[in-house]
Each structure stands twice: as C-alpha cells, then as structure tokens.
Amino acid sequence: MVDEPLVLGIETSCDETGIGIVRGTTLLADEVASSVAEHARFGGVVPEVASRAHLEAMVPTMKRALDTAGIRLSDVDAIAVTAGPGLAGALLVGVAAAKAYSVATDKPLYGVNHLAAHVAVDTLEHGPLPTPSIALLVSGGHSSLLLVDDVAGGITPLGATIDDAAGEAYDKVARLLGMPFPGGPPIDRAARDGDPAAIAFPRGLTAPRDRAGHRFDFSFSGLKTAVARWVEARQRDGHTIPVADVAASFQEAVCDVLTVKAIDACREHGIDTLVIGGGVAANSRLRALAEERCQRHGIRLRVPRPKLCTDNGAMVAALGVHLVAAGRPASPLDLPADSALPVTRVTI
C-alpha cells in the first residue's frame, strides 16, 4: 500500500472546473476555472452553460495544475473524480475526462461523492480527521448534518434540509436585495455594516413541536419568505430598505440555526469534533459563531480556509487519498455519473 498516495482530483459537479493534486495531506495544486460570470445574469447556474464551460476548461485547467505541482500525469497513484451528486451534464464531463486520463495512464480511477469530499478536504488544513466526528455540510445544493466514522466509507446522515439549502437561501435573499449571484459573498459583506438583531426573522425547525420529528433537519424556505414579506411591506409603505440590517438579520438566523443544531448533534452523540464544509462554510459570521459556541461546549472546531470550502478539485483529491490509503477498490471504468448519489455511498 502507498504510504502518502499522490492523487489527482477532478471536480465538475456544478459551475467550477476544479483540478487538485494532493500527496498525503499536502496540497500541491488547486486550480479552479469558474463559469459563475456566465450564469450571473440568469440568477442561478444554467446546467447546459456549465457543461459547455467544463468542456472548454478541462484541458487548460489540467495543464495548469500539473505545472503548478511540477508533476506529470503519469506520476500519480490514482485519479479521483466527483461522480455525484450534482448536475448530470456537468458531472458527465468530469467523469468522461477522468476515464480518458485513467485509460491513457493506466492509473486506477475512483468515482467519489462530492459531499464526502467537502468533509475530507479539511485534512489538507488540519491533518487527519478524528473519528467519529460530526460534519455540518452547507452548500448551494445541500445542508446536512453527518456522523462521520470514516470519511472513506462510514458516513451516516443525521439530518438535512427539508426544503432550500442554506446557500440557496443566501442566493435567493441576495436576489431579492438586488445583489449579484452567487449571493453568499455580497450578503456576508453587507452584513458587516448591519445590526443582526434589527429584525427577528424565524429560525426554522427549532420550536419544540418541530424538534420532535426534525431535530437535526433544517428548513430555510420560511426564512426566505419572511425576508421577502418584510422587504415588500417596507417598499409598499414607501420606505427605503435597510439592506445591511436585513442582510445581517437574515444571516444571523441562518448561522444561529446551523450552529445550534450542529452542537446539539455533537452533544447528543458525545462527539467533540465538529467539521464544517461546503460553500457556506466560507461565511465569516458562521465561522465566528461556530467558534464561539464550540468553545463554550468544549468542542474542537475545524473549518478549512474559505478557498477550500467552495467547490474545488483538491477536495476530490483529498478524498481519493483516503480511499487509496484505506485500500478501497477502484471504480469500474464504466462507472456512471449519478446526479442523486446519496451521501452514504462514498464511492461508485
């Protein structure tokens, strides 16, 4: 078995073409080509546009990554690729490219789960993940609490959003406030000048009656509607919208619920490590509030730096390293892209 496997990771599940190269827990290259600017005027990712952009970016991004790492493709021990969940056409571009690279170099291919990769990436910054850990995964498409016994194969979902994902709520509220897509970064910035206690927005699924059946689930669509109603009412009355206060109050509601439930999951399972991943983990308030609350409860918090939280190829390579090191079998060369791959399946 290889001690410190050298793995190349390919990510194309949404609008970022990512190629990462990792040796053990050392990041050698993390090249990302984003098509986000092409989607901005539509207010969301257009699948066909994303697929075409992946096709165009794949080879140049691969070249940049190999140059940065100072290796040849034939040097790697394995190739890992996001096989799901994500946009079907976008995933297909990455999976097809990975198969071609695997056949050309005769290297094993691992089709991996995007959500598990968001958890595994933290090892690049903080070293091996203590197990078991609780993972809070918050992105544009997913919001989940996971019990992680082994990132290479033992992930149990504890709860997930029953409607919008946290990032989706950021994107929709940003649109409502006239901010660009994706909405997380502009809301994060605007909120710095606002009062998080200015408006009491609802905290979904935290009332005692909801907690019974949905203790570790999330709901953000009621919050999004509450923000829309509040803004509409002000506009109807001819008032200007205090954008910074709305952004800060909305953000506080999201981060409050995410951190309360994540810590509750740690305490319920007697686990003292919380790792947060996914694009929303780049949020400054989520990071600060999680730190504050984890400290209060004696929980170790691990959140990778913002660039590793949003989609990238390094996270796929990092998970690939775990799979190779654990001696997991490679995927068959006819592996499919599975847009609805459940988090319980780390490899295909």
CB atoms closer than 10 angstroms to residue 28: 18
Write down the least CB distance from residue 185 to ligand KG4, Å: 5
Among the listed ranges 27-35, 166-174, 191-199, 292-300, the one in contact with ligand KG4 (CB under 6 A) is 166-174
Tell which positions 1-60 bind ligand KG4, by CB under 6 A: 14
Which of 18, 196, 278, 320 binds ligand KG4 (CB under 6 A)? It is 278
Binding site partner of 282, from Zn ion, ligand KG4, none, Cβ cut-off 5-8 A by kind: ligand KG4
In contact, 343 and 47? CB cutoff 8 Å: no
Which of 141, 159, 304, 313 binds ligand KG4 (CB under 6 A)? It is 141
Is the Cβ of residue 61 or residue 139 nearer to Zn ion in the bound state? 139
Among the listed ranges 37-45, 200-208, 280-288, 308-316, the one in contact with Zn ion (CB under 5 A) is 308-316
CA nearest to 312, candidates 59, 26, 4, 13: 13
As beta bridge partners, residue 113 has 84
Among the listed ranges 19-27, 65-73, 104-112, 182-190, the one in contact with ligand KG4 (CB under 6 A) is 182-190
Q: Rule CB under 6 A: is residue 186 a binding residue for ligand KG4?
A: no
Scanning the chain, the segments in alpha helix (DSSP H) are 36-39, 47-69, 88-105, 114-120, 123-126, 166-176, 184-191, 208-214, 221-236, 243-268, 284-296, 306-309, 314-325
- Find tokens 């995964």 and name the residue: 137
CA nearest to 79, candidates 314, 317, 318: 317
As beta bridge partners, residue 135 has 146, 275
Which of 282, 294, 303, 330 binds ligand KG4 (CB under 6 A)? It is 282
Q: Rule CB under 5 A: is residue 139 a binding residue for Zn ion?
A: yes
In contact, 49 and 80? CB cutoff 8 Å: no
Binding site partner of 280, from Zn ion, ligand KG4, none, Cβ cut-off 5-8 A by kind: ligand KG4
In sequence order, what are the residues at sequence separation of 6 or more whose Cβ sits closer than 8 angstroms to the Cβ of residue 261? 145, 159, 206, 215, 216, 218
Which amino acid is present at 345? R
Among the listed ranges 26-34, 135-143, 151-159, 209-217, the one in contact with ligand KG4 (CB under 6 A) is 135-143
In sequence order, what are the residues at sequence separation of 6 or more whose Cβ sits closer than 8 angstroms to the Cβ of residue 336? 83, 95, 348
Q: Rule CB under 5 A: is residue 11 a binding residue for Zn ion?
A: no
CB atoms closer than 10 angstroms to residue 45: 21
Which of 5, 20, 94, 185 binds ligand KG4 (CB under 6 A)? It is 185
Inter-CA distances, 266 with 6, 55, 223, 224, Å: 33, 41, 25, 27
Is the Cβ of residue 90 or residue 271 nearer to ligand KG4 in the bound state? 90
Among the listed ranges 22-30, 183-191, 258-266, 324-332, the one in contact with ligand KG4 (CB under 6 A) is 183-191
Binding site partner of 182, from Zn ion, ligand KG4, none, Cβ cut-off 5-8 A by kind: ligand KG4
Sign of the dihedral through C-alpha 104, 105, 106, 109: negative
User: Does residue 150 come out as left (phi exceeding 0), alpha (psi in the -120 to 50 range) or beta?
Assistant: beta
Distance of CA 238 to the CA centre of its chain: 39
Binding site partner of 102, from ligand KG4, Zn ion, none, Cβ cut-off 5-8 A by kind: none
Is the Cβ of residue 87 or residue 330 nearer to Zn ion in the bound state? 87
Is the Cβ of residue 62 or residue 87 nearer to ligand KG4 in the bound state? 87
Among the listed ranges 88-96, 163-171, 228-236, 330-338, the one in contact with ligand KG4 (CB under 6 A) is 163-171
Write down the least CB distance from residue 189 to ligand KG4, Å: 8
Is the Cβ of residue 159 or residue 183 nearer to ligand KG4 in the bound state? 183
List residues near ligand KG4 by CB under 6 A.
Answer: 14, 139-141, 167, 170-171, 182-185, 188, 278-280, 282-283, 310-311
List residues near Zn ion by CB under 5 A.
Answer: 139, 311
